[in-house]
């Protein structure tokens, strides 16, 4: 099977990864030996990376990452600040509800999990860090979609792949988005995975922009009867607390479209 990759770019990434790990020797010769790259190729790779100020040579011929990478890392730095700011309230939410809590942001047409607070229960829903779901799926996707302009939202819905519609229709997606606008939260009773229930609420920065979705996830029975209302109240309270903290820690407005 053909793999549509660029070998020299893969080598460059491998060089950056080794230098970033900072373990052992990072001289040109050591990098050549570790990666099995010819001297002439390694020389050109390092010269190119140095010219872009992504790496620099220091004492002893060692290479280290350089500050030219910082502009590329700013979105990740912002996410790290976001995580650190809301970590404690999310951990408290997970402990009090017994549910798994996750924090997700929009990246293009996808909802990306950037932090999770695991349920203290032995039997719980596992959430994968870095997991990506199309925005038409689930409660958190509805929260993030609700913050977008109507034409952008419609374009994303229209472009959703066929597997997104296995357990739901466009009517379901529209209903969840309206629910966010009407109540400030979204409850999703298994539209994508029939056994999984989730409740999400938006997190806002100082400008009022939705910058993330806070979600509590469990099995359907975890939300039975009065538990649903109790969980919803606590999620709304936690989201409000997180937004207050974020408005102090992250004064600059985040872009709604990434």
| β pairing state of 196-204 and 186-189 | antiparallel
Q: Which residue, of 16, 42, 65, is where some domain finishes?
A: 65
> pLDDT tens across 151-187, in order?
999 999 999 999 999 889 999 999 999 999 999 999 9
Residues 93 and 130 in one domain: yes
> pLDDT tens across 37-88, in order?
999 999 999 999 999 999 999 988 999 999 898 787 777 777 888 999 999 9
Residues 84 and 186 in one domain: yes
Is the pLDDT confidence value at 258 over 70?
A: no
> pLDDT tens across 216-257, in order?
999 989 998 899 999 999 999 999 999 999 988 765 544 433
pLDDT of residue 69: 87
Residues 11 and 91 in one domain: no
Provide the domain count of the chain. 2
Give the 3-state secondary structure of residue 64: strand
103 torsion bin: left (phi>0), alpha (psi -120 to 50), beta (else): beta
Q: What pLDDT band is residue 128 in, cutting at 50, 70 and 90? A: confident
CATH number of the domain residue 53 falls in: 1.10.10.10
Does 16 reside within a domain? yes
Is the pLDDT confidence value at 214 over 50?
A: yes
Is the pLDDT confidence value at 107 over 70?
A: yes
Give the 3-state secondary structure of residue 16: helix
Mean pLDDT, the chain, as a whole number?
Answer: 90
DSSP 36: T
Residues 60 and 78 in one domain: no
Other C-beta atoms lying within 10 Å of the C-beta of residue 139: 28
Find the domain containing 157 and state its range. Answer: 72-249
**Average pLDDT, integer, range 122-136:** 88
CATH number of the domain residue 164 falls in: 3.30.450.40
């Amino acid at each position: 099977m053909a793999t549509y990759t660029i070998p020299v770019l893969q080598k460059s990434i491998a060089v950056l990864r080794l230098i970033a790990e900072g373990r052992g020797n990072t001289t040109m010769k050591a990098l050549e030996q570790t990666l099995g790259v010819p001297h002439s190729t390694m020389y050109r790779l390092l010269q190119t990376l140095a010219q872009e100020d992504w790496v620099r040579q220091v004492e002893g011929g060692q290479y280290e990452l350089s500050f030219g990478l910082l502009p590329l890392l700013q979105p990740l730095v912002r996410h790290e600040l976001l995580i650190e700011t809301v970590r404690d309230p999310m951990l408290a939410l997970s402990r009090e509800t017994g549910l798994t809590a996750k924090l997700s942001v929009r990246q293009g047409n996808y909802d990306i999990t950037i932090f999770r607070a695991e349920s203290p229960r032995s039997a719980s829903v596992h959430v994968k860090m870095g997991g990506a779901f199309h925005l038409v799926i689930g409660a958190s996707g509805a929260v993030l979609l609700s913050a977008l302009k109507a034409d952008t939202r419609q374009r994303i819905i229209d472009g959703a792949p066929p597997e997104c519609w296995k357990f739901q229709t466009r009517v379901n997606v529209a209903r969840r988005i309206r629910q966010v606008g009407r109540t400030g939260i979204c409850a999703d009773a298994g539209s994508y995975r029939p056994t999984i229930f989730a409740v999400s609420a938006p997190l806002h920065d100082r400008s009022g922009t939705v910058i993330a979705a806070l979600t509590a996830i469990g099995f359907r029975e975890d939300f039975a009867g009065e538990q649903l209302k109790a969980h919803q109240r606590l999620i709304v309270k936690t989201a409000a607390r997180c937004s207050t903290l974020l408005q102090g820690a992250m004064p600059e407005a985040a872009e709604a479209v990434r």
